[in-house]
Structure 1
Amino acid sequence: MTDRTHTAELAFGGPRLVSPLAAKLGFAQSLADIASTAAAREREHRLPHEEIAQLKALGFGALRLPADAGGHGVSLRELLVVARDLAAADSNIAHAFRNHLWQVEAALRQRDHPFHAHVLGLTGRNKTFGLSFAETDVIAAGARPTRVLSRLEWDEIRQAYVGSGDKIYATGNLYNDAFIGMAVESRAGRTVQYVLERGEGVGTGDDWQGFGQRLTGSGTATFRDVLVQPAHVYPPDPPKSGDAAPWGYTFHQVYLTNCIAGIARRVALDAVEVLRARGRNFYHGEAEHPVDEPVLQALVGRIRGYAAGVEASADRAADALQRAWDSHGTPGEHDATLAATLAAMEAKIVIDDLAPQIASWLIDLGSGSVVSRVGALDRHWRNIKVIASHNPRVYKERLLGQNALTGQLPPTGAFF
């Protein structure tokens, strides 16, 4: 490479779709293909079965497993780097992996427990997991929470457990190979964990009605007289010690915020292409071609700068999450996990506020040239808002304020 060529490459700065890490792990071509077809999938409502199958085959679902267990051996922080690349390519697909990736994290923490060992074994074979835990029917007014497969009945003839139930808002279940949950088994009346591999009686529908994240497979999962093999029913995890940190490392929230950061990066990438593709400027503009228009050049710079700020805020939360993971079982675990949940809240407040604005600026940049449904650029704003609706930021703002003023600790649910 000549010095001139090297300088020319450096001259075009800004974000890149694929990080060096994702390229090193062998995901570059797959991510580029996913990104190039994302708009068409959105227009045609084509579910990404093939794309997700390819990522599974490449080991995306097993990124965190050691190489000798069928994985890539990446750190939690590195997992979020590659997941953000995927979100920049297509946030639907990144979101669809979230529940599986969390189960892997939980399993890695307790890999000696037979349930988690089984989860890791299937993950190492490039299988992914969905959830069949309790769900609330949000459609029926005043509905009470229900539990999917709340009871597993022993069937003497088939020598297996049988269960039925429905799960709404089953993100990613449409693409998963197995499902996990908890239930009461009939013979001893005890609470158990189970792993149910996809088979007869399992139905996953595409009835998600959200205006964004339309292809995440977040519809209804149905289980009708499904068979759960006794070998796949396990005692529950042992209770946590009183010294254990209660916030679960806030993986769920950081992962979703990380997805939004990926969308912000994609907006910055699309902004360059949108302006380069514009053929006409307004008659009152200062340049003949839009790409030479000073106000539009400045808007590209604003989008780039704000998107970089969003990614930096997500990075800060991801770093805190890694430190919390590293502190497991140490005297500093409580403080590290508290710091992670506070950093996750701070990142969500900033990113949920800025990212929709960045997506809106993309429309300002393209003006009437980009409002056609062909480009599907409206998906960025819609997807950001739907992801951000998980555990809304207004509550995070209040809780952060209370913590600053009185030292009150955050709630201990999964999204904190």
Structure 2
Amino acid sequence: MSDSTNLASAGPTLVSPLSARLGFARIIEDIAATATQRELAHRPPHEEIAKLKAHGFGALRLPAEAGGHGLSLRELFVVARDVAAADSNIAHVFRNHLWQVEAALRRREHPFHARVLELCAQKKTVGLSFVETDVTAAGARPTRVLSRLEWDASREVYIGSGKKVYATGNLYSDAFIGLAVESRASRTVQYVLDRDTGVSDGDDWDGFGQRLTASGTAHFHDVTVPAAQVYPTDPPRSDEAPPWGFTFHQVYLTNCIAGIARRIVLDAVDVLRARGRNFYHGDATHPTDEPVLQSLLGRIRAYAASVEATADRAVEALQRAWDTYDTPDEYETTLAATLAAAEAKVVIDDLAPQIASWLIDLGSGSAVSRGGALDRHWRNIKVIASHNPRLYKERLLGQNLLTGQLPPTGAFF
């Protein structure tokens, strides 16, 4: 028996012990096994998402006594990264829903947020229905949703129409939320809209990556909203509250890229083992024994581990901000979280595409077949990264060191 027989790899695994303990292992493994076929056939993952919903992926943060898994924010990102490693499209689909749950957990006594948590407990997910076409700058907050909710006295319901651009995940959502002007009192309200015949299931998303997130335009035509599902807007927080309320979104996207980096390592091992022949000028007969290829595999592993560690640092900062919510320390921890999220994005958006390129180098001609769809990793990384360009975050980080410049307070920080 050779010495190598007793050696064990401590490298990455697709499913974390936490996901396995929660019973997600089989679902995640099945998602990973069929990711390539879905990509090639452009098959929306309705069945896969339904299984995750049924097992409570959308309710990871909901307390156990309320029908959820009762995870910490940190643990949510562990399970979400496992799903992203299996298929980053599917993890991305849940981002808007999971953020709404976070917001609702902080304001659970408010009737609007209570309804969101009720839907979550029913293993349903919520999407967004407000339009963004009325803003002149990317990332600015929209001022209208379904433009207006008109009261229909004969049916005692509100009627609304509109559209939502970049409606990631809406194709798979059970309900939709947003802000609107309510016609009877001309006031801004929040609402929960159940999926009905007026909600379009079209998918006009044509990005070269994240192709199955349905991130195109969602249309709402004469949809009905019961009066009981129209709510007052949230009361404003105190002037001392930190203004950075959207860091979760950025950390979640960065966490998805970290999942892709892990999947690249796993695919790299398969690619190298599957290669049947080496170049004539190589130093070994079989590619798995080729020193330069072994080194490249090690580099992929090391860089991917660094990506995951960097993402973990941002997650930890966000957890600290959550833990100090509505305390005197909240401002400082929230600011630290948004800066940590920016730092992680700058590093990971640089490294992750390179790791995806090294995968092709490792496989050489054996890795460029469309049937393997290995190019999807680079494409998916670049599309996720494009949401919030790192260039502005690099500058902000430099300005912050030099002058104390604070981050913007809009959606992309």
- The answer to whether the 8 Å contact 1:204/1:219 transfers is no
CA distance in 1, matches of 2:211, 2:173: 17
Residue 8 of structure 1 deviates from its aligned partner by: 6.1
Alpha carbons 1:147, 1:165 under 8 Å: kept: no
> Given the two structures, how large is their TM-score scaled by the length of structure 2?
0.96
Q: Does the alignment pair 1:327 with 2:324?
A: yes
Does structure 1 residue 255 correspond to structure 2 residue 246?
no
Contact 1:43 1:376 in 2 (8 A): yes
Contact 2:144 2:181 in 1 (8 A): no
1:101 maps to 2:98 = yes
List aligned pairs for 1:353-368, cutoff 5 A: 353-368=350-365
1:32 aligns with 2:29: yes
In the superposition, relative to structure 1, how do residues 336 and 146 fare at CA in structure 2: closer, same or farther (>3 Å)? closer
Q: Name the structure 1 match of 2:269.
A: 272
| Alignment partner, residue 53 of structure 2 | 56
Q: Which of 76, 83, 87 does residue 79 from structure 1 map onto? A: 76
Cα 1:316–1:160 shift into 2, 3 Å: same
Which residue number in structure 2 is paired with residue 178 of structure 1? 175
Question: What does the per-residue CA deviation read over 1:165-205, in whole Å, with 9 as the maximum and x for residues that have no partner?
Answer: 01121000000000000001000111100000101211131
Contact 1:249 1:324 in 2 (8 A): no
Give 1:217 deviation, angstroms: 1.3
Alignment-derived partner of residue 387 in structure 2: 390
Moved over 4 A (4+): 7-10
**% same residue:** 78
Say whether 1:242 aligns with 2:224: no
- SS of the residue corresponding to residue 329 of structure 1 reads coil
CA contact (8 A) 2:265 2:301 kept: yes
SS in 1 for 2:178: strand
Contact 2:80 2:256 survives alignment (8 Å): yes
**How much has 1:248 moved relative to structure 2?**
1.3
Tell me the equivalent position of 1:281: 278
Q: 1:205 aligns with which of 198, 202, 206?
A: 202
Counterparts of 2:107 and 2:144, CA distance in 1: 24
Query: Using the alignment, how far apart are the partners of 2:30 and 2:117 within structure 1?
Result: 29
Indicate conservation of the 8 Å contact 2:128/2:177, yes or no.
Answer: yes
TM superposition shift of 1:10: 6.2
Spell out the pairing of 1:208-219 with structure 2 (5 A cutoff).
208-219=205-216
* Cα distance in 2 for residues equivalent to 1:9 and 1:98: 42
The residue aligned with 2:148 is 151
Q: Deviation string for 1:68-93 (max 9, x for gaps)? A: 11100000010001000000000000
Cα pair distance change 1:75/1:381, threshold 3 Å: same
Deviation at 1:391, TM superposition (A): 1.2
Q: Does 1:293 align with 2:290?
A: yes
Given that residues 158 and 224 in structure 2 are in contact (C-alpha distance below 8 angstroms), is that contact kept between their aligned partners in structure 1?
yes
The letter of the residue matching 1:404 is: L
How far has the Cα of 1:413 moved from its partner?
A: 1.5
Q: Per the alignment, in what secondary structure is the counterpart of residue 190 of structure 2?
A: strand
* TM-score, normalised relative to structure 1: 0.96
CA offsets 1:250-295 (integer angstroms, 9 cap, x no match): 0000000000000000001100000000001000000000000000
Distance 1:230 1:124 in 2: 22
Q: What residue number does 1:141 align with? A: none
- Contact 1:66–1:72, Cα closer than 8 Å, also in 2: yes
Encode CA deviations 1:202-233: one digit per residue, 9 max, x unaligned: 11311101000000011211111000000000
Deviation at 1:245, TM superposition (A): 1.1
**Structure 1 residue 27: deviation in Å?**
0.2
Give the Cα–Cα distance (whole angstroms) in 2 for the partners of residues 93 and 9 of structure 1. Answer: 37
CA distance in 1, matches of 2:115, 2:268: 45
- Following superposition, the deviation at residue 9 of structure 1 comes to 7.7
Secondary structure of residue in 1 paired with 2:371: coil
Question: The residue matched to 1:227 in structure 2 has which SS?
Answer: strand
State the 1:307 CA deviation: 0.1
Q: Distance in 2 between matches of 1:75 and 1:106?
A: 14
Secondary structure, counterpart of 2:370 in structure 1: coil
8 A Cα contact 2:131 2:163, kept in partner: no
Matched, 1:379 2:376: yes
Write the distance in 2 (CA, Å) between the matches of 1:397 and 1:248: 20
CA distance in 2, matches of 1:136, 1:313: 35
Alignment-derived partner of residue 300 in structure 2:
303
**Aligned: 1:369 with 2:366:** yes
Q: Per-residue deviation at 1:13? A: 2.3
Give the alignment's Cα RMSD to 1 decimal: 1.7
CA distance in 1 between counterparts of 2:315 and 2:174 reads 28
1: distance between equivalents of 2:6 and 2:344?
32
What secondary structure does 1:200 align onto?
coil
Q: Give the secondary-structure state (helix, strand or coil) at the position aligned to 2:177.
A: strand
Instruction: Sort the Cα spacing of 1:9 and 1:189 in 2 relative to 1 into closer, same or farther, 3 A.
Output: farther
Q: Is the 8 A contact 1:246 1:412 kept in 2?
A: yes
Counterpart-to-counterpart distance in 1, 2:408 and 2:6: 48
- The 1:311/1:401 distance shift into structure 2, 3 A limit, reads same
- Pick from 393, 396, 406 the counterpart of residue 403 of structure 2: 406
- TM-fit CA distance, 1:134: 2.9
